[in-house]
Structure formats: C-alpha cells, structure tokens
C-alpha cells in the first residue's frame, strides 16, 4: 500500500464515501457510530475542520482515517469526544501508522483506539475496558444476561419509577425526542455537572454545542443523534443524548437533575431505554471507556480501547508512557479510597 493522501473531508467524492461505507460494513470491529462518515461530516459541519488520510494503490480506496490537525499533532476525528477511534478498513487489511506523519505532522495521538486496529500495536502504551450492554430481546433479554448487581439495580429502578410517579406525577419516557429545548437542558445539566465535579467543560467550545444540535436534526436511519427523556409530571428527571448507527447506540451524554438524585433517575432512564431497544432496532448499547460504578454494575460485557501515540520521537513516546502510568496509579488510588 502506498502512503495515503490527505484531503479535507468535503473533498471526498461520492464514490469514496461509498467505499468508506463498504469497508465499514465489511468489518464488524467498526460498527460503532463513530466510524460512520456521518460523524466526521457532522463534526466538520459544526466548524471544526476534518481531514481524511485516504490510502490505496489506484482503484477504490482501501483505508480512511479522519482526523484533526493541531499544529504538528494529529488527533482522531471528534476528539476529545470520540469514544472509539481507528482507521476504516476491511478486516485483515494492513495499515502503516507512520505513513500518517510527514508534511509537518510529527505525531498521531489516540486514547480510544479499537484493539483490533492493525499496525498500531507498537504504539500502544495502555489499554482500558469499554463496557457495553447486550440488549437483544429488550429488558427480558438483558436481564437474562446481566450480572446479579445489574438485575438488582434494574429492580430498584422499577420500584423508584413507581415512587416517582406517585410523588411527582405520571412517568413519561420518550425514546427518540427531537425537542431542541430538551437537548439544551441536557447540555445545561451536563455543564453544571462538570462545574460541580471540577471536570473540564466539554461544551466550553461552541462547535461542540453546534455538533449536538446538528446530530439531533440528522434523521438518517443509518446514522444520527438519539435524544431520550424521562419526565415525572412536569419535571425532567433524566435524559440522554447518544449516537446511533444501525443496531448500535453509543451512550454519550447522560444527565439527571440533582434535585431528584434520591430516585436514581439515571437507572430509571437506562431501564426504560433497554426496554425500548427492540422498537428502536438497537441490539447493543456501548457505555464508553471507564470504570464508573454504574457501568460496572450494568454491563454484560466489555471491549478494550487503547491509548498511545504514533511518533518517530522516542522522547515523546516515553512521556506518553509516563503520563499513562501516572493516570493508572491515580485511578487505582481513587478505587482503593471508595467505600
């Protein structure tokens, strides 16, 4: 395979986009919505330029890798909000990550690379679990596969939903809402959560708000945003905005109103979404990387995502390894401190 050429996303031809779709469809490791060209298109349209490395020796392309360029650094498309990353190519196809470098680009950094990405093994410095829920068969199917903890939490969610209905008013769940006001409330609650926990505010960059707005309006059955809301009476208890492609839903921005935390509304919402999965055509809900307690309890399985950097500079690679080790130690310390 010759070195890739790099094009702005908007320069890809219809035939190249068809090749992208075909390569993704032929590789089960790429069924996440993040690998759909619609995600790259939405990020680009929101105002953050996307470039695509296109590899092939004449004829149809054999690999695509959408990315952003920040000075001499390349990042995966949608970073830091992309929970699955990697090249779009057929299973078993080779890929040379060093070919991404050149023309001033000194490194390609990744933090959610799918473990099956070929050619990246030597550049990986750490691996972390990415839990998921197999929701084939809806709530009954999920409960048949869930851990004891998952079953218990879903049972508690059912009882708390009944309590919310008695105390606050009729419970209403909308699996697929197109209400922009509800999305604005999701973003408002998420920003308040970031502020309360000291986390970096993802929505401080206006293009990220525009991204979610655009994804909410995307009604393509093959790709788009999915907004789900849970009300009790006049109160919005919880909501979630995720990405949907085919039978996969990615759990992206879940929120709940802290005023109703005693009801664990996030679990009620998740239970309702699992129950609605067959009607939505969803068979798997990817929860994204992390060792959050609710993910550990709810999951039926997990994949692995990798962190690392492609570089010819050994110092840069050593720094990446040291930072990864420091973060791993910090996570272990936090886990030991939990009651």
200 burial class (0-12, 13-18, 19+ CB within 10 angstroms)? exposed
pTM of the predicted structure, to 2 decimals: 0.92
Pick from 208, 212, 224: which is nearest to 180 by CA? 212
Q: Tens of pLDDT along the chain (339 residues)?
A: 557 899 999 999 999 999 999 999 999 999 999 999 999 999 999 999 999 999 987 778 999 999 999 999 999 999 999 999 999 998 888 899 999 998 899 999 999 999 989 999 999 999 999 999 999 999 999 999 999 999 999 999 999 999 999 999 999 999 999 999 999 999 999 999 999 999 999 999 999 999 999 999 987 878 999 999 999 999 999 999 999 999 999 999 999 999 999 999 999 999 999 999 999 999 999 999 988 999 999 999 999 999 999 999 765 665 555 565 545 544 443 433 343
First-to-final CA distance of the chain: 53
Helix and strand numbers, DSSP H then E, in the chain: 9, 13
pLDDT one-digit tens code per residue, 83-111 = 999 999 988 888 999 999 988 999 999 99
Decide: 51 and 9 in contact? Cβ < 8 Å: yes
Cα torsion for 139, 140, 144, 146, to the nearest 10°? 10
Token look-up 């035939």 returns 15
pLDDT at residue 219, as a whole number: 76
Alpha carbon distance 118, 92 (integer Å): 8
Alpha carbon distance 173, 7 (integer Å): 43
CATH classification of 5-129+303-337 is 3.40.630, yes or no?
yes
**What homologous superfamily does CATH list for 136-282?**
Gcn5-related N-acetyltransferase (GNAT) (3.40.630.30)
What SS3 string covers 199-247? CCCHHHCHHHHHHHHHHHHCCCCCCEEEEEEEEECCEEEEEEEEEEECC
Strand 63-70 to 5-8 pairing:
unpaired
pLDDT at residue 261, as a whole number: 96
Structural domain spans, the chain: 5-129+303-337, 136-282
Which pair of tokens denotes residue 108? 């390609």
CB atoms within 10 A of CB 163: 15
Alpha carbon distance 177, 131 (integer Å): 25
pLDDT at residue 184, as a whole number: 98
- DSSP-based three-state secondary structure for 251: strand
Strand (E) or helix (H) holding 301: strand 301-311
pLDDT one-digit tens code per residue, 179-238 = 999 999 999 999 999 999 999 999 999 999 999 999 999 878 789 999 999 999 999 999
């Amino acid at each position: 395979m010759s070195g890739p050429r790099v094009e702005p996303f908007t320069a890809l031809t219809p035939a190249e986009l068809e090749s992208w779709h075909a390569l993704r469809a032929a590789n089960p490791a790429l069924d996440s919505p993040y690998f759909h060209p619609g995600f790259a298109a939405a990020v680009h349209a929101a105002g953050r330029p996307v470039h695509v490395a296109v590899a092939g020796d004449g004829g149809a392309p054999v690999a695509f890798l959408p990315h952003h360029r920040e000075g001499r650094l390349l990042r995966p498309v949608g970073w830091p909000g992309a929970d699955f990353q990697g090249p779009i190519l057929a299973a078993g196809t080779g890929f040379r990550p060093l070919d991404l470098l050149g023309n001033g680009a000194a490194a390609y950094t990744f933090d959610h690379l799918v473990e099956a990405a070929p050619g990246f093994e030597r550049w990986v410095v750490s691996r972390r679990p990415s839990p998921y829920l197999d929701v084939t068969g809806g709530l009954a199917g999920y409960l048949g596969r869930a851990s004891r903890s998952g079953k218990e939490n879903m049972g508690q969610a059912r009882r708390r939903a009944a309590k919310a209905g008695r105390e606050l008013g009729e419970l209403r769940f909308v699996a697929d809402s197109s209400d922009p006001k509800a999305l604005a409330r999701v973003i408002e609650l998420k920003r308040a959560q970031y502020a309360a926990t000291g986390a970096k505010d993802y929505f401080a960059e206006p293009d990220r708000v525009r991204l979610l707005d655009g994804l909410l309006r995307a009604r393509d059955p093959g790709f788009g945003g999915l907004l789900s809301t849970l009300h009790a009476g006049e109160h919005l208890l919880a909501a979630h905005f995720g990405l949907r492609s085919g039978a996969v839903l990615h759990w992206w921005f879940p929120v709940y109103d802290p005023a109703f935390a005693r009801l664990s509304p996030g679990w009620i919402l998740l239970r309702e979404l699992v129950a609605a999965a067959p009607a939505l055509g969803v068979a798997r809900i990817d929860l994204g990387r992390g060792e959050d307690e609710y993910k550990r309890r709810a999951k039926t399985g997990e994949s692995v995502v990798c962190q690392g950097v492609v570089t010819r500079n050994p110092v840069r690679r050593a720094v990446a390894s040291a930072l990864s080790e420091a973060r791993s130690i910090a996570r272990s310390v936090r886990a030991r401190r939990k009651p």
